[in-house]
Structure formats: structure tokens, C-alpha cells
């Protein structure tokens, strides 16, 4: 059974008994088994809210980015992988209501389910507290990812670039190790990347993805092609 929603509701500044939040946390598999409303419509709405919130952040905080660069930044932040990681940082899997089949098939580990849940939760914040609150929440969760992408919007993702170099030079695939510190609402992650048995880079960030990207960037900049 899902854990009590009290802590999540508090994190979102919503009532613990919010009917909208309950729907946001209800997967279609659970809805089919219990004849109740799923979060699919909220996911549809949340997708638009997240997109607008990130576009607003790019335009207001990064005036040097033109339309093309801004679109590249947004695409690197508003995607299934990034939103699934955001859901993981919120521990949404702990609160989601899913059907028995999804539990057996470990559906709660699927990025698509987690990303959809994140968008549905954003929609719940929007409906309960308005766009300003939803925008602030999205910025808080994804702002660091935008900052990383905005540094070089048209470059290949640092992790992809490092992997391509390591594999092409016969060093194998890079591996990452993560540690975290700080309270749940303000966790800092530290990542180390190892290539061919050697620690090549260290990075820090508010998200796992951001920390790994910074570690990969450090490894790439300090690489030795010999």
C-alpha cells in the first residue's frame, strides 16, 4: 500500500486530504481495478505546465540564449529521463497507487510511469495553488538541470560525450558512484566517474543527473588521449 501522503502534501504545500493530489498519484492500472479516476488527464495538463514553467525560466533567467538554444536546453530538461529523476527525488514511487500487475512487473521502476506521475503532481499544484506556485515548484526541482544545460546548449550531453570517447579509445564504459548529503528537501549529490579503473572526475549538484553530468564534464576536460 502507498505510504501516507502527509509528507508529500507538506512538501507541495497542499492539504494531506487533497482530492486532486490523490488523483495525481493514481495510476491507470489502479484506477481500472478500483473503478476510480486515474492521473492521465492531470499528466496531460502537467506536461503543458512543466513546459511553460521551463520556457519561462529560460527566457527570464538566460537572456543570452536565442530561440534555438533555448529549445535545446528545454529538450534536455523536459524529457522522460529528467522528469523520472525529478519524481525519484520526490520519492513519488512511495506514494503512487498502482495495480497488482504493475507491482508484480516492477512498474514503479519504469521511467515513463515516474515521469507521468511528476507531471500529474505538478498539475495538482497548479490546480490547487495556481501557476505561480507550480512554476516555483518546477524551478526548484529542475532549475539546476536548466543551469547545466544552459552552459553549452548545443553540445552533446557530457555523459554521452565521455562514454563515446572512453569506448572509442578502448577504455570501456564509464561507471558512476553517487553519494548524497543534506535534508530530503535540499539534498546535494556528489558523483564520481571511473574510466578503466581510474577515477576521472567528481561533480556535485542538486540532482543525480546534474552531479553525474558535472563529473563527466570534469573527466572530459581532464582526459588524457595517450
Averaged pLDDT score across all residues of the chain = 90
Percent of the chain with pLDDT over 90: 64
- Concerning whether 17 is annotated as a catalytic residue, the answer is no
The tally of CA atoms less than 13 A away on the side-chain side of residue 143 is 11
* Alpha carbon distance 192, 126 (integer Å): 37
**Band of the pLDDT at 153, cuts 50, 70, 90?**
confident
Nearest to 2 by CA among 34, 49, 40, 43: 34
* Alpha carbon distance 45, 64 (integer Å): 29
Range of 94-98, 129-133, 168-172 with top mean pLDDT: 129-133
pLDDT tops 50 at residue 1: no
What pLDDT shows up at residue 2? 52
* Alpha carbon distance 73, 123 (integer Å): 22
The catalytic position among 43, 85, 102, 119 is 119
Please check whether residue 95 is in contact with residue 2, taking contact to mean a CB–CB distance below 8 angstroms. Answer: yes
Domains of the chain: 6-151 (1.10.1520.10), 158-221 (3.30.160.20)
User: What's the pTM?
Assistant: 0.73
- Concerning whether 119 is annotated as a catalytic residue, the answer is yes
Mean pLDDT across 157-173: 88
Higher-pLDDT residue of 108, 72: 72
**Band of the pLDDT at 196, cuts 50, 70, 90?**
very high
Mean pLDDT across 126-140: 97
The tally of CA atoms less than 13 A away on the side-chain side of residue 151 is 12
Report pLDDT digits (tens) over 3-39. Answer: 578 999 999 999 989 999 999 999 999 999 999 999 9
Higher-pLDDT residue of 157, 63: 63
pLDDT tops 60 at residue 204: yes
Burial (CB < 10 A; 0-12, 13-18, 19+), residue 185, is: exposed
What pLDDT shows up at residue 161? 84
The catalytic position among 43, 47, 85, 214 is 47
Amino acid at each position: 500500500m502507498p505510504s501516507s501522503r502527509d509528507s508529500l502534501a507538506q512538501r507541495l504545500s497542499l492539504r494531506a486530504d487533497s482530492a486532486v493530489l490523490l488523483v495525481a498519484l493514481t495510476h491507470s492500472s489502479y484506477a481500472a481495478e478500483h473503478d476510480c479516476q486515474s492521473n492521465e488527464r492531470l499528466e496531460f495538463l502537467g506536461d503543458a505546465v512543466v513546459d511553460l514553467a521551463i520556457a519561462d525560466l529560460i527566457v527570464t533567467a538566460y537572456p543570452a540564449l536565442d530561440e534555438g538554444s533555448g529549445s535545446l536546453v528545454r529538450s534536455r530538461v523536459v524529457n522522460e529521463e529528467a522528469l523520472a529523476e525529478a519524481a525519484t527525488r520526490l520519492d513519488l514511487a512511495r506514494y503512487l497507487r498502482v495495480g497488482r500487475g504493475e507491482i508484480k512487473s516492477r512498474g514503479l521502476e519504469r521511467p515513463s510511469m515516474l515521469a507521468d506521475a511528476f507531471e500529474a503532481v505538478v498539475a495538482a499544484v497548479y490546480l490547487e495553488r495556481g501557476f505561480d506556485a507550480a512554476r516555483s515548484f518546477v524551478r526548484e526541482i529542475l532549475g539546476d538541470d536548466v543551469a547545466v544545460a544552459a552552459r553549452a546548449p548545443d553540445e552533446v550531453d557530457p555523459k554521452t560525450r565521455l562514454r563515446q570517447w572512453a569506448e572509442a579509445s578502448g577504455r570501456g564504459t564509464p561507471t558512476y558512484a553517487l553519494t548524497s548529503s543534506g535534508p530530503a528537501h535540499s539534498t546535494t549529490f556528489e558523483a564520481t566517474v571511473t574510466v578503466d579503473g581510474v577515477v576521472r572526475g567528481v561533480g556535485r549538484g542538486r540532482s543525480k543527473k546534474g552531479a553525474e553530468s558535472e563529473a563527466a564534464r570534469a573527466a572530459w576536460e581532464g582526459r588524457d588521449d595517450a
